[in-house]
């Protein structure tokens, strides 16, 4: 039997390994497909609170709550089965924000209650714009965030909605879409380009009722601040997966500067060459599954763990051992979002107002795809959240030795230093799957 050219491209809910690439990449992509809409753009009035940067601690903690809830609701079954999963809270929230900008009344309220952290539409849109501009400023660490809308022929966007989509989300507008095979090709080509080839497709076909397609893509590529040397790369090492079976993996060993301690586990933070993103791994205490560990977290606990990371001063030593790994995850988020409280937008009672003539439409599917590879050179990814924190300044009389060995299931995140929010949040239950 002839092998497919790209065997990792499989249906949603499945994860497959992709051939290794030269440097590690975190990738996140979300698409809202088959969106049927009516109504008018509603502008919120409340501004973001001035506390942490431009946004309050309450908002940032709720956004972190959203990240944890999204992962558990979208991938809880897979995690429970001992499989790998990852979501990009930033990508999901941004695509939903682009859509809710055209929602009205109960439809808008339910959507914002799920992902906007208590902000109204205007304030959330401002948050998106500021975050995207900031994350794109880095020179060595590459971050690309893009949005696009396809709208069916004989429909057009209301000028008020178009203005919001362009000014806050910098969305590319594609008009006169036929939603046929040619449109499928157009959407997938855009996806492939914006994700630097890491995700080659998101849709296979459209419904005859599809009027709009709103897509967000995030791509990240960062090299470690200190690249691993040959003597730090250990092959054929043991990793005990969630099923209790031992896998042979390639481990990376290093000394790191930032130690993380939580009630139910410990971990470390590893920096990239520059930019606002950092890599954080959390190892649950022995006997605790990754699902149980995630359930014990709150947004505040996750952010505090990152912000309160302990700087290890000499002569203390933090030794870290982690596996090289890669994973792809595809999921339809409809069920998860409904469980989180976003029911109305999927029903005939939904009210959107972003097109003319009015289409009386609703959301039919929310699709989400992520890909990550972590190796000796760095990470490739999408979306970011991280906050820089100082550690203790006194040198202890007796050296202390810390060690984090990721030889069993663990949780990881790419964190934004400025907000201490996870741009990506995932679980590694197995390395060889």
Mean pLDDT confidence for 143-148: 92
User: In percent, how much of the chain has pLDDT > 70?
Assistant: 82
- In which band, very low, low, confident or very high, does the pLDDT at 401 lie, cut at 50, 70 and 90? low
* pLDDT at residue 33 tops 70: no
* pLDDT at residue 382 tops 70: no
d(CA 83, CA 77): 9
Using DSSP's 3-state secondary structure scheme, residue 270 falls into strand
- In which band, very low, low, confident or very high, does the pLDDT at 320 lie, cut at 50, 70 and 90? very high
pLDDT tens per residue, range 163-192: 999 999 999 999 998 889 999 999 889 988
- In which band, very low, low, confident or very high, does the pLDDT at 18 lie, cut at 50, 70 and 90? very low
* pLDDT at residue 387 tops 90: no
**The pair of three-digit structure tokens given for residue 176, joined into one six-digit string:** 């006169």
d(CA 322, CA 281): 9
Question: What confidence score (pLDDT) does residue 388 get?
Answer: 16
Q: Which of 70-74, 402-406, 411-415 has the highest mean pLDDT?
A: 70-74
pLDDT tens per residue, range 277-318: 899 999 999 999 999 999 999 999 999 999 999 998 888 889
CATH architecture of 230-323+383-428: Roll (2.30)
Q: What are the domain boundaries of the chain?
A: 26-223+326-373, 230-323+383-428
- Average pLDDT over the chain reads 81
Mean pLDDT lowest for which of 115-119, 274-278, 415-419?
A: 274-278
CA angle 185, 161, 186 (to 5 degrees): 5
pLDDT tens per residue, range 216-228: 999 989 999 998 9
Dihedral (CA of 55, 58, 59, 62) sign: positive
User: In percent, how much of the chain has pLDDT > 90?
Assistant: 53
* pLDDT at residue 23 tops 90: no
Instruction: Please check whether residue 328 is in contact with residue 85, taking contact to mean a CB–CB distance below 8 angstroms.
Output: no
Mean pLDDT confidence for 252-274: 93
Burial class from Cβ neighbours inside 10 Å (0-12, 13-18, 19+) for residue 247 reads middle
Dihedral (CA of 23, 28, 34, 40) sign: negative
pLDDT tens per residue, range 131-141: 999 988 888 88
CA angle 32, 328, 115 (to 5 degrees): 40
Helical axes 105-115 vs 121-135, angle rounded to 10°: 40
* pLDDT at residue 394 tops 90: no
Mean pLDDT lowest for which of 115-124, 279-288, 377-386?
A: 377-386
Question: What confidence score (pLDDT) does residue 154 get?
Answer: 86
- 301 sits in the region (left: phi over 0; alpha: psi -120 to 50; else beta) called alpha
- The alpha carbons of the chain give a radius of gyration, in whole angstroms, of 21
β partners of residue 87: 425
CATH architecture of 26-223+326-373: 2-Layer Sandwich (3.30)
* pLDDT at residue 252 tops 90: yes
pLDDT tens per residue, range 188-239: 899 889 989 888 888 888 888 888 899 999 998 999 999 899 999 999 999 9
């Amino acid at each position: 039997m002839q092998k497919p050219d790209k065997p990792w491209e499989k249906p949603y809910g499945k994860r497959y390994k992709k051939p290794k690439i030269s440097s590690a990449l975190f990738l996140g992509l979300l698409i809202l497909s088959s969106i049927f809409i009516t109504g008018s753009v509603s502008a919120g009035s409340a501004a973001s609170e001035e506390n942490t940067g431009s946004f309050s601690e309450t908002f940032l903690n709720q956004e972190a709550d959203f990240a944890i809830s999204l992962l558990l609701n979208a991938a809880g079954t897979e995690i429970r089965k001992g499989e790998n999963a990852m979501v990009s809270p930033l990508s999901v929230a941004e695509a939903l924000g682009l859509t809710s900008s055209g929602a009205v009344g109960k439809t808008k309220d339910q959507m914002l209650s799920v992902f906007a952290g208590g902000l109204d539409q205007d304030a959330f849109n401002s948050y998106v714009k500021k975050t995207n501009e900031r994350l794109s400023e880095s020179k060595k660490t590459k971050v690309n965030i893009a949005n696009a809308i396809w709208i069916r022929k004989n429909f057009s966007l209301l000028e008020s909605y178009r203005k919001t989509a362009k000014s806050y989300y910098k969305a590319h507008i594609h008009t006169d879409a036929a939603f046929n095979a040619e449109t499928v090709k157009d959407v997938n080509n855009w996806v492939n380009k914006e994700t630097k080839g890491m995700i080659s497709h998101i849709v296979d076909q459209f419904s005859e009722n599809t009027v709009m397609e709103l897509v967000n893509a995030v791509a990240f590529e960062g090299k470690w601040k200190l690249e691993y040397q040959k003597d730090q790369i250990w092959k054929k090492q043991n990793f005990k997966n969630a099923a209790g079976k031992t896998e042979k993996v390639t481990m990376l060993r290093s000394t790191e500067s930032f130690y993380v301690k939580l009630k139910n586990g410990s971990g470390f933070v590893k920096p990239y060459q520059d930019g606002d993103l950092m890599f954080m791994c959390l190892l649950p205490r022995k006997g605790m599954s990754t699902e149980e560990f995630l359930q014990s977290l709150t947004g505040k606990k996750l952010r505090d763990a990152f912000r309160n990371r302990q700087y290890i001063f000499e002569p203390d030593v933090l030794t870290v051992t982690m596996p090289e790994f890669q994973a792809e995850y595809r999921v339809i988020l409809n069920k998860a979002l409904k469980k989180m409280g976003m029911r109305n937008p999927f029903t005939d009672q939904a009210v959107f107002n972003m097109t003319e003539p009015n289409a009386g439409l609703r959301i039919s599917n929310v699709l989400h795809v992520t890909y990550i590879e972590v190796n000796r050179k760095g990470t490739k990814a999408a979306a970011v959240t991280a906050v820089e924190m100082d550690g203790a300044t006194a040198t202890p009389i007796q050296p202390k030795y810390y060690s984090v060995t990721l030889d069993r299931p663990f949780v990881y995140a790419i964190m934004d230093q400025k907000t201490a929010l996870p741009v990506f949040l995932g679980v590694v239950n197995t390395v060889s799957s």
